[in-house]
Structure 1
């Protein structure tokens, strides 16, 4: 047996020396005697993850979140592009950061895991990541988002038949209901999760759900039943050797004995919990332990020790941002100082507690107060108007003649002024529409000079390189695009089919120009008849150009541009999306780039305004950084809303008189 282990050890050293040029003993070498070298790197990564979990399970602040085993597992998974294993590693890191109340780091790692799991299309893994994200949101008291994450996890678990994840998701949904004070509903979810754990003999699940059941029952005043569940949970935690679970049970049992009025018994378990929590570094549980110990000493009448532990609990709760814990601890401090006769401090902590527990009520009160103030101001103005009306009536008899003359004069002046204003306004409108139409024609009839210059340069390069196929293809597409642009520039509307052809040629040329540095999709919903639906020409081209020049090129990675045309009722939606650096980062580009982009957007908005006036239907242009939709996404999304113009008998010659009729009607 010893000889076999030594051989495995040497083989592992040789394997990783060839791969990484090892100069010092690695984590793989440390476990070389236990790895089956007949397997692949994937098996080695699994062994490393397993050893990391075992090491971290020993607990304590002295255990690094990312140990040597996990670091080397991540390195091997990256080199082999094992996305599934990388996602699991990031999900594990997020869980560890969460347990130490480092929620920002936890969220970053879970999001990396989410991105990788999405790419792998592994629904089971995706469900696990969603469930862990939900726990983070629940810890920071964002219960609606937490419920959304856990529901997604549950649906994926049911789809894949993952019983463990089903149980975990149901338990998590029960916890969200518990946070929302829906204790009866939470018990129903905990019972379902408990039954699943029993069927699978999942001792960890049994430990967790027994404790959760006890907490919910304790809130409902059923202390004896709660204690039964707490001790059942503690027994399962002993069996699986979970120190974290044991500390949670100690806290729960102590709280139950405290509610029974048995403070000495409660203190026995609460001090065990505090010792374990400080060893494990779980700040949430540390805060809970200090608060409950302080509450116990308060019940026993030992005010100095009660104050010490409650303040420690409040300090940790503020550090991790637990609103519920802050509210509970500050309420107990208020009670403590009230019993000591220090009413100023009691009032201070009472206000702190009220600020967290009654925030919604306070907001309603503020709104109600604002409403009452507005009503009072309106009433004051009404009384003032009545007084002015009385004064006016008193002077009415003496001013009737003068008012009549003045009114008549004002009417004449107003009529003349109105006529002059209307004439000037109509002239300005004609001039403005003429300018806008000229700008639109100019925009439609010409491409960005930089694009034309670079396109011709690219053709020249292909010719000089004797790449006949690419130069011929590039030149053909370039000629077709120029022909389409020139043909469409004479019209205010072209068919959706023609617009799609122009965009297709343009995107293909851009791909050839940049050596196919990006991919694209051009999708038209089947509900849109490309032959009869008419659209303003070249409306989306400036945004595609911006996506390439200001989004994808600066990103330095492979890009993707999505162009979609689809119908929503009597409206047509055009969406241009990319995975570039995003509009916020793009605003930091050169002034020249900004001016070009802003001019294109300005002219597009004016075209949409004219289209609104012409059709009598709403148009819209929205440009969003994708981070505003999803904080973990990147790129820019342009959404253009147009009326659906179906011109079965449309004659392009008619569009030349379209604006003329509108202007004359104005």
Structure 2
């Protein structure tokens, strides 16, 4: 009995911690003061001239820039930090105390920007190449400064079309580095309009791929393959086309392109490239189920990797190790990952981010996991500890947290409860840290997106000004012809009206899209809230069943039920953040749940669960935990009140290629009689599970189209028995 209570207590702690971690951050108290409008100006203390186009932002909040008069106005809250930033002076910081007026006096650095009194525009004192070189040097650390320098380069009135193409290409490179692929596509296109370069066209094809515009990527790669290409360009095009075919699941064509690229790399004796391509060929063979050829290509990649110790060859070994893991060949996997760690010690890993699978902390984690899968717990412990140490050195909170959790579970399995508890307490602390870091990352990402949008709009404005100046020249020329051609005036008026109408249409479309995005965001928040209610509701209903076994001192039954319940909870928590999961996963979950209910009420009902052999359970998607409330209602409100033993039948079938049908049928007392048999206290309680299910279905159908439909009917004319019919549509 002591062991039962220990296990129960551990699971309860995990569930409570998980539930707390999943709560919305907005529930935390806000200690900031009231909102105010802050006005201010930025003045060069040496010349007493206003400084225009200075970045003014509230940390984690609003953003604006100074006008040509150096003035700015921004909404903030008492206690917020105000940041004044420019490439022309040192960054200034202020804490907002009230709706004060702020005068910022700055000392300009070298190469200042001055004003042209004749047109009120800025004249950069640096050359085009100076700005481009500075942008190229800083954009990986400071995207704002990088784009600012591109804007300053484009403001120079004397730049050529070739220089304009260079500026837009670099701007697109910046977008690509910061994973803003839609902007990269637009800017690569602008570069090509000014001057065509094959190298830029290849980058555009890659940007299409990264933005998941696969068809556009394939079409462009095909066009490029017919051009006269250099060796490196040809290799990039062929491999890029293979990557795109693989992304569209056309694995045969992908293998064809990868093989062609591998021949090119082999002929040029590019060992690391050939190694990488062989791992891609192997992965593609694996995806089409040709294990023999997959193994052959992976072995070839390993042979090549032994000839050269580079980051690329080490990365290829990781791919092969992952393959061994998927085949549960743990000894081969462990051996190869140890070689990866040895190889990493000989290459420069400074540029490898924590998101990369190649990091030492992740490889140590995977070695430990492989040992655990072999039940070699003592061998796994040192590698989990190494993973934690590496994660701490690399400031990788995600791996540190996961490794600490697994270490706690491992100590628990070894019945070393003191160390298990110590590791678990550390894990809880890391969860809290992870939540804070995640909030900071989200705020940083939102601010980055806002900054880049502002900078991009600035560049678009410059481009429009350039086009407008060209139009002014054309208009001046046309005015000379108005005397002889009166009809041109009418054409100009009509053209102006069309531009105004188009502008209004674009504005309306922008407002519509903004409203649609807001509605989508609201739906996501609503779903998150419903899921956060659903999980505790289900968890505590199930815990009541555990409690009943413990209360009756039925230790063996409690242990059995608790073990099955832990397995079920793991499946529930893994799927809790998804809108849709494969139908196969939901079937496994409902099997576990129904088994647990029957385990408790075996004298009340029997059940059957059948799946038609024609139903492709991996092709259909279903919201997680959709069936459980209906099965729960059938047991608790239908058959539990039945005097004789009831029967529950759950059936999965396929109506047509696009439709699957799920029925949950019981021969219980029926819905109306069930209501009359409830106690007064039960009548006061509303079914949270059924209410949440209805709301989730309504929101998901609105977001993804009408993919789910539910109908509830009586089985018999007497009102006894209940049948729930759930219809699923493919997306």
Whether the TM-score (by the shorter chain) exceeds 0.5 is no
* Interval containing the TM-score (normalised by the shorter chain): 0.3 to 0.5
TM-score by structure 2 length? 0.32
Larger radius of gyration: 1
